[in-house]
Structure 1
Amino acid sequence: MQYITVKQASERWGISDRRVRILCEAGRIKGIVREVRSYLIPADTMKPIDGRTLGGKMIPE
């Protein structure tokens, strides 16, 4: 299985690397592997859906 780093995932998904780490810690990204101080993310994993709402309306992707 091919893995990418947090930095590569943040560039691919257009979000900060800190946000990717938060998603990993929360278990929102499936199939991650925790190496000593970093995460390895499967290369074919899609960006998790943003669960936030704005005034009862969904934020568009």
Structure 2
Amino acid sequence: MEYFLIKQTFEKCGIIVRRVYVLCIEGLIPVATKIGSYWAIPADAEKPYKCRKEGAI
């Protein structure tokens, strides 16, 4: 399975890096996994409802 880091997710989702980080912390990206000090988000994860664009992250 391919994973994205927060910066890569930001580029694909079109929202600021800090917002992606907050969404991970709040559990709004339930498939996000914290590995050490980094968040890993599966490439095929659905965008949280608070993202403005449609589709997968």
Q: What TM-score results when the alignment is normalised by the length of structure 2?
A: 0.81
- Residues 6 and 17 in structure 1, CA contact (< 8 A), matched pair in contact too: yes
Percent of residue pairs bearing the same amino acid type: 38
Report the number of matched residues.
53
Higher relative contact order (CA 8 A, sep 6+): 2
Pair 1:24-2:24 in alignment: yes
> Which residue in 2 is equivalent to 1:15?
15
Q: What TM-score results when the alignment is normalised by the length of structure 1?
A: 0.76
1:26-60 deviation digits (Å, cap 9, x = unpaired): 0000211101111000100121112xxxxxxxxx7
RMSD: 1.8
Which runs of structure 1 show a deviation greater than 2 angstroms over 4 or more consecutive aligned residues? none
Tell which structure's C-alpha radius of gyration is larger.
1
Runs (5+) with no aligned partner, structure 1: 51-59
In terms of fraction of residues, the more strand-rich structure is 1
